[in-house]
Amino acid sequence: MTTQYPGPAPQPTPPAAPPPLPIPPGAGLQSDADIQGNIFAGFNKDYAALLFLQLKDQTTGRAYLTDLVPLVANNADVSTFNAAFSQALRSSGSDPDNLNATWVGVSITAPGLETLVPQTVQNSLQNSPFRLDPTVASFLAGAAADSAVVAQQGPEAPANWYFGRSDQPIHVILSVESDTASSLLGIMQELGQLASKHEVVTIFQQDGATLPGARHGHEHFGFKDGISQPAVQGFVTTDPDGQPLIAPGEFVLGFPGQGPSRANGRAVPQWMFKGSFLVIRRIAQDVAGWWNQAEQLAPAAGIGAEALGAKLVGRWRDGTPLDLDPNNDPRSGADQSTSNAFDYSDDADGAKVPLFVHIRKVNPRKAAAPGPGVTDQHRIIRRGIPFGDPFDPASGKDHGPDAERGLVFACYQASIPDQFSFLQRTWADNSDFPTPGAGPDPVIGPKGTCPLAETSGTPVPLSVGQFVKIEGATYSFTPSISTLQQLASGQLS
């Protein structure tokens, strides 16, 4: 029987205060070995797999975690490796062949916590002595119950998902990444043996890999991906593009958040400190449909299909932002593909960069934004990777329009409702953000009308379709290493 988690019941304001935060980090956050890797220090590998697992019971589940914890990558080790890799890359100009690593991350769902430590869920999450942050309720309810961002009917409804359905409880999620396919296969075999030993069932395995050749670092629509990530205070000292540093408490619990209203962090039990909430979505992409749309809509705007695609995404295919080059495909010019040095502060009306473009909708930077809080309080750390073969029908049926392909979207945050859900519901899906009639996000939003100024300056209403489909989703918690150890030993309180 599947346990339902409606979230904490409404509580009167209690007298108890939330636990105090750790000392705010200085520049040494990279050396924190209690935080799991892949949150601040990204795994950033070419080959990946997500394992959605179901535990048999409390006893075997704790034994499984006991054997698993030594394999879990911590933030300090991943940071050290990434620094060495970056240094070698700068020195040689290419990826160093002699620097390889394989990383494993562990996240626990609400049903997983209930299986491992039911008394903790009841005592500290459902009957807390202090008023808990609303993110706990979102976590306990799960992705399928988040009506703000989940379709309740149609092909995207949870009943049609590959993972995250109510009839297939998931307890543990493993994020596994490696530099080589052979190394990934090796760790997957080791993890399979460990699961078999403890009667752990694999509900679903989602594989992913960076696209080959010239498509490396791009998603299936053809645009460079993963460029703009938050620069976290205490993990880096400055942002190379001059973007503001974001307080670590926006991504990892137990630290101060962004702005005076978040100075005390979020009210959660102390065992959640140094942990983060992980959202995973499998997003199918209709590449042929996307570019057919661009071909059909471009003439009305007086531009070509490539330019139209850039004006929907907000960057040209190579990653150069429209803010720096709004009219010319820059791939034959100077390389600005990794640039993040813009903030829309001189483009409030969208003359250079349309107000509806994807990267502007989900990160309006210094441009005015309606809704509670400020832009930097809604940032997420993204860890996505493509799945499926590239769209190239001449290469065979696996590369045709009917083959499965898309993006394994993953993001870390301190609050699911204030970050992931907010971005999708309040900004991406909202046709009246950032101004009335601006249009929905044309990449991840619903069908709608996006007004684009043609070459004469007259707005042209573009009827934009939906060419992505959600095929699975989970909300889980990525605990600290010490909390994982307490979960394994049954000492969590």
pLDDT tier at 459, thresholds 50, 70, 90: confident
The verdict on 122 and 227 lying in the same domain is: yes
| 376 and 480 co-located in one domain | no
Confidence at residue 397, expressed as pLDDT on a 0 to 100 scale: 85
The pLDDT value recorded for residue 333 is: 61
pLDDT confidence tier of residue 1, bands split at 50, 70 and 90: very low
- Is 12 inside a domain boundary? no
Average pLDDT, integer, range 88-102: 89
Determine the pLDDT at residue 371.
Answer: 46
Dist CA 47 CA 178 (whole Å): 5
198 and 58 in a common domain: yes
CA 157 to chain centre: 20
Average pLDDT (70-99) is: 93
Distance CA(419)–CA(492), nearest Å, equals 27
pLDDT surpassing 60 at residue 370? no
Q: What is the pLDDT of residue 334?
A: 66
pLDDT at 9: 56
Please name which of 441, 422, 423 lies closest in space to residue 431, comparing C-alpha atoms. Answer: 441
Torsion (CA) 69, 71, 75, 80 in degrees, nearest 10: 150
The confidence band for 14, taking pLDDT boundaries of 50, 70 and 90, is low
Is residue 460 in a domain?
A: yes
What per-residue confidence (pLDDT) applies to 270? Answer: 96
144 belongs to a structural domain: yes
The pLDDT of residue 75 is: 98
Residue 454: pLDDT band (50, 70, 90) is low
Q: What's the pLDDT tens digit per position in 288-300?
A: 999 999 999 999 9
Same domain, yes or no: 274 and 288: no
Mean confidence (pLDDT) of the chain: 92
Per-residue pLDDT, 373: 47
What is the share, in percent, of the chain residues with pLDDT greater than 70? 94
Q: Check whether residue 354 and residue 462 sit in a common domain.
A: yes
Domain for residue 14, yes or no?
Answer: no
For residue 271, is pLDDT > 60? yes
Q: What is the pLDDT of residues 104-153, one digit of tens each?
A: 999 999 999 999 999 888 899 999 999 999 999 999 999 999 988 999 89
Q: Are residues 247 and 329 in the same domain?
A: no
Mean pLDDT of 450-461: 80
Structural domains of the chain, count: 2
Residue 66 lies in a domain: yes
Same domain, yes or no: 220 and 334: no
Q: Is residue 38 part of a domain?
A: yes
Model pLDDT, residue 338:
78
Note whether 278 and 416 are within 8 A (CB): no
Residue 206 confidence (pLDDT): 98
Over the stretch 372-414, which tens digit does the pLDDT of each residue have? 447 899 999 999 999 999 999 988 888 999 999 999 999 999 9
Whether residues 332 and 202 share a domain: the answer is no
Q: Distance between terminal CA atoms of the chain?
A: 26
Would you say residue 8 has pLDDT above 60?
no
| Least confident stretch, 184-198, 312-326, 478-492 | 312-326
Q: Are residues 319 and 266 in the same domain?
A: no
Q: Considering only 204-218, 338-352, 431-445, 479-493, which range has the smallest mean pLDDT?
A: 338-352
- 378 lies in some domain: yes
Residue 345 shares a structural domain with residue 481: no
Evaluate if residue 362 carries a pLDDT over 60: yes
The fraction of the chain above a pLDDT of 90, given in percent, is 76
Question: Is there a contact between 116 and 125 (Cβ–Cβ < 8 Å)?
Answer: no
Domain for residue 9, yes or no?
no
Q: What is the pLDDT of residue 372?
A: 43
Range of the domain at 374: 284-472
Structure tokens given for 96:
């160093």
Sign of CA dihedral 207, 211, 216, 217: negative
pLDDT value of position 15: 65
274 and 343, same domain (yes or no)? no
Question: Are residues 71 and 208 both part of a single domain?
Answer: yes
